[in-house]
A = this chain, B = another copy of it.
Amino acid sequence: MVKLCKFPVDLVIEARWLATVAADQAVLENHAVVVQAGVIIDLLPIAEARQKYTASSLVCLENHILIPGLINCHTHAAMSLMRGLADDIALMPWLEQHIWPAEQAVVSAPYVQDASLLACAEMLSGGITCFNDMYFYPQATAAAVTQAGMRANLGLLVMDFASAYANDADDYLQKGFDAHDTWRSNPLISSSIAPHAPYTASNQTLQKVITYAEQLGLGIHTHLHETQDEIVKSEVQYALRPIQRLAELGLLGPSFVAAHGVHLLENEIQLLADYGCHIAHCPSSNLKLASGIAPVTQLLATGVNVALGTDGAASNNRLDIFAEMRLAALLAKGTTGDASVVPAKQALAMATINGAKALGLDDKIGSIELAKYADLVAVRLDDIATAPYYDPISHLVYSCGREHVTHTWVAGDLRYSHGVYANIEPNELKEIINLWQVKLSQLKVEQHKK
């Protein structure tokens, strides 16, 4: 008998089920993922993997489903510390009377770094390995992302209004590019240019955005058609609906990610499809701020790529893509009257590969396939809330919550497992929470007195 030599590898994960989210939507049973230098190098039955490989780290997931890391395609991580600061209030008074004053009072680089670290912790524990962010001080967010060891596409925020962060559009752009330069060699962080919204950026500013995005090869991330109000105002100011204005300016294209897209006419949905744009659907936030319900079924049917986002914790109030998956699937059924639309597999695709496509990262992440990064999440299915089982993907979307996540890997590194983070200390989070809670509570009391 010939003794076969086994290949030494960094990591082998053996899973009862494995949702590839590849083009064929295969769900494999009793398969192993083999990881070397952060990349998936093999995907094969467990028995064969045991013959072929010897792993520095072997993880056996007997009652779990392994899924690609979830992608939160629209958030403001640094709003985590404003979770629950103001609820049950409509978007404009919520922004004008609560969120903007709070931001004016506290937002600084240290605030953004602290709040982003809390958000990273919440997201990693809920199986999110990558997020698409837009906020002030992106460099401070990058510091938190780097500490947490997760992946992010950070928006280089641009608007025409001064803030503690920047004075005007040029200043925002310059600060954004300076930040971008600091993480150019970081494989976990990428950038988009992020004009806040059509209603906070002039045509001149948006033209600069296009020029720079083309020069630097960056995508564009913005809020679009979140409320009827912004559409009406645009019609008054520009005699155009925002999406038409952006189309005429030349912003739309396959690197354009629009958060929300709640209020869209049929021809606008076609326009998004024709340009290859992406929608980051944020169903919880859209409901909570009473913005409405995005026409996800029509968007998908027309060929628009739809990903999922949580929006910020102040308007959700969870950074929880499990909740968004379930809600996106349920809402699509309830609003169309067709229970077969956005089935569980599609909801999972929206939370993974569609997010990767939106960020231009679908050659690297978003599915469990050879040569992609090992951004992986283990979800236990042996809870009484997920028993019995007939279809693991159905359970994942309709029965599971983020509390069923047991392991989160980013590029093959275990970043979270069973309540413990690789690089974040519980006491560090406690201190952050206590520090800013006091400051923001004080602010709330003062506002109440006014």
Contacts and interface: CB of A to CB of B under 8 A. Distances in A.
Interface of A: 81, 83-85, 87-91, 94, 118, 121-122, 125-126, 284, 286-293, 316-320, 327, 329-331, 333-340, 343-344, 384-391, 394-395, 398-399, 401-403, 429, 433-434, 436-437, 440-441, 444
20 contacts: A81-B388, A83-B386, A84-B399, A87-B343, A87-B394, A87-B398, A88-B343, A88-B394, A286-B334, A287-B330, A287-B331, A292-B334, A317-B395, A317-B399, A318-B385, A318-B399, A389-B437, A390-B437, A390-B444, A401-B403
A290 B338 contact: yes
A312 B288 CA distance: 26
Contacts of A91: 339
Given A84-B390, A88-B333, A390-B437, 6 more contacts: A118-B387, A290-B336, A387-B429, A388-B437, A389-B437, A390-B444
Contact of A84 (B327, B334, B398): B398
Main secondary structure of the interface of A (DSSP, over half): helix
Contact of A293 (B317, B334, B436): B334
Number of copies: 2
A384 B429 contact: yes
Contacts of A344: 87-88
Contact of A287 (B333, B388, B436): B333
Contacts of A343: 87-88
A47 to B, nearest CB: 23
A22 to B, nearest CB: 20
A284 B317 contact: no
B394 A317 contact: yes
Contacts of A441: 388, 390
Name the residue in A318, A343, A395 with the highest tally of chain B Cβ atoms < 10 Å from its Cβ.
Answer: A318
Contacts of A287: 330-331, 333-334
A320 B318 CA distance: 17
